[in-house]
């Protein structure tokens, strides 16, 4: 498979939400109990992109995964440290 990696946009929220929601509902890897809505996901993408990267992986124009960075801790000494999160559609594992 040929993957294309690009910066996410809020327009990717529906595809990302479709990948993430089952992770919340069917696994223990998320610390959320209720999947965010598409609108909430779009807001998260926008908020992340203001400071950190948010990427999607596509195959034949379809989003099959995402990765983003987020603040590790608020203290100044951690300003260059980030947490990285990756979710991939199980169909492409």
Domain boundaries, the chain: 4-92
Predicted pLDDT of residue 36: 98
How confident is the model over 5-18, as pLDDT tens digits? 999 999 999 999 99
Q: What is the pLDDT of residues 8-67, one digit of tens each?
A: 999 999 999 999 999 999 999 999 999 999 999 999 999 999 999 999 999 999 999 999
Buried b (16+ CB within 10 A) or exposed e, 76-88: eeeeeebeeeebe
**Correct CATH for 4-92 of 3.40.630.30, 3.40.50.1110, 3.40.50.1860, 3.60.10.10:** 3.40.630.30
Report the alpha-carbon distance of residue 51 to residue 46 in Å, rounded: 9
Reported pTM: 0.92
């Amino acid at each position: 498979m040929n993957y294309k990696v690009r910066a996410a946009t809020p327009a990717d929220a529906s595809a990302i939400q479709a990948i993430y929601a089952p992770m919340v509902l069917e696994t223990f890897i998320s610390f959320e109990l209720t999947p965010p809505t598409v609108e909430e996901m779009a807001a998260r993408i926008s908020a992340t992109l203001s400071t950190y990267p948010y990427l999607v992986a596509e195959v034949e124009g379809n989003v099959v995964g995402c990765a983003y960075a987020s603040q590790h801790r608020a203290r100044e000494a951690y300003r260059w440290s980030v947490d990285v999160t990756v979710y991939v559609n199980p169909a492409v594992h």
